[in-house]
Amino acid sequence: MIIAGLQKTTLIDYPGKISCIVFLAGCNFRCPWCYSSELVLPLKIVKQPRITEKELFDFLRERQKMLEGVVICGGEPTVNKDLPQLIEKIKKIGYSVKLDTNGSNPGMLKELVKANLIDYVAMDIKASADNKAYENLLGEGVKLDDIKESVSFLKNSGIDFEFRTTVVDSVHKKEEFLEIAKWIGGPNIKYYLQNFRAEKTIDPEFEKIKPFKREFLDGIVKDISPYFKDCRLRS
C-alpha cells in the first residue's frame, strides 16, 4: 500500500465530522476527467512523495482530541488487499472511518461493513448502468456487475452512505439521470451531484470541457429528487 498524501483537516468531506483525508495510490479505473492522475497512473505514482504508516499513525494519535474521522480515498482504496488491516488500526485508536470508493470491489466492501470497520461510504456512480462509457472506464478484471453488486449491497446494508456523480459534459446527458435515479434511488438514499471543473485531467482533452451551467444541474436535481431521500448539487 502506498500512502501518497494526507490532508490534515477537512470540514466538508465527512458529513458532520471534523476529519483528515488519507490518499492511497492506485486505481482500477481510468476516468478521463479524473483530477488525480498522480494517484492513478503508475508512471506518476512512482514520482509521488510518500508517507510511512508510522508517520500517519503518529499524526492520528497526536490529533486524537481534535479530529473525529478519517476519510480514506484514492485513487481507489480497495485495490489494496491490506486495506482492512489499515482501517482496523485506525478504528482501534478511536476514529470513525469514511470510505470513498468507485464500487469495483463489492467483496471487500461487504467485508469492511460486516466487520464494522467503516462508518460511512461515499460511492461514485460514473454513469447510468446502460451507458457504454461506464464499461470503458473499468480496468482489467472489473465488471459492471461488480458496480451493480456494490449498489445493491449498500442499499440493503444498513450502513450510512451516499452515492455521488461528477457530471461531465460530453459524458452525461440530462435524460441519463432519470435512468441513474431508477437504478440507485430509494426512499432512504442520498445522492449528490457535483459539476465537473476542468483542471489537470487524465485525458488532456477533458481540460477543454466547460462546466455545466448551474440551472442545467438544478433542473436535473429537480427532476430526480422524487427518487431520493436527499438529492442536491454540491459545490
Residues found near ligand SF4 in the complex (CB under 6 A): 27, 29-31, 34, 36, 40, 74-76, 102
Can you tell me which residue has the cell 508510522?
Answer: 54
Count of alpha carbons within 13 Å of 2, Cβ hemisphere only? 18
Residue 67 or 180 having the CB closest to ligand SF4: 180
Quick one: CA torsion of 30, 208, 172, 75, rounded to 10 degrees? 30
Q: Smallest gap, in angstroms, from Cβ of residue 74 to ligand SF4?
A: 5
Are 25 and 75 within 8 A, CB to CB?
yes
Residue 40 or 209 having the CB closest to ligand SF4: 40
Are 161 and 47 within 8 A, CB to CB?
no
Return the amino acid letter for 4.
A
Q: Smallest gap, in angstroms, from Cβ of residue 126 to ligand SF4?
A: 7
Nearest to 75 by CA among 121, 41, 25: 25
Nearest to 141 by CA among 184, 191, 107: 107
Residue 4 or 90 having the CB closest to ligand SF4: 4
Residue 168 or 231 having the CB closest to ligand SF4: 168
Are 191 and 143 within 8 A, CB to CB?
no
Q: Smallest gap, in angstroms, from Cβ of residue 100 to ligand SF4?
A: 8
Q: Smallest gap, in angstroms, from Cβ of residue 175 to ligand SF4?
A: 23
Q: Smallest gap, in angstroms, from Cβ of residue 129 to ligand SF4?
A: 16
- Rounded-to-integer distance, Cα 43 and Cα 92, Å: 34
User: Measured in whole angstroms, how far is the alpha carbon of residue 37 from the centre of its chain?
Assistant: 15
Q: Smallest gap, in angstroms, from Cβ of residue 40 to ligand SF4?
A: 5
Residue 29 or 206 having the CB closest to ligand SF4: 29
Residue 67 or 101 having the CB closest to ligand SF4: 101
Count of alpha carbons within 13 Å of 21, Cβ hemisphere only? 16
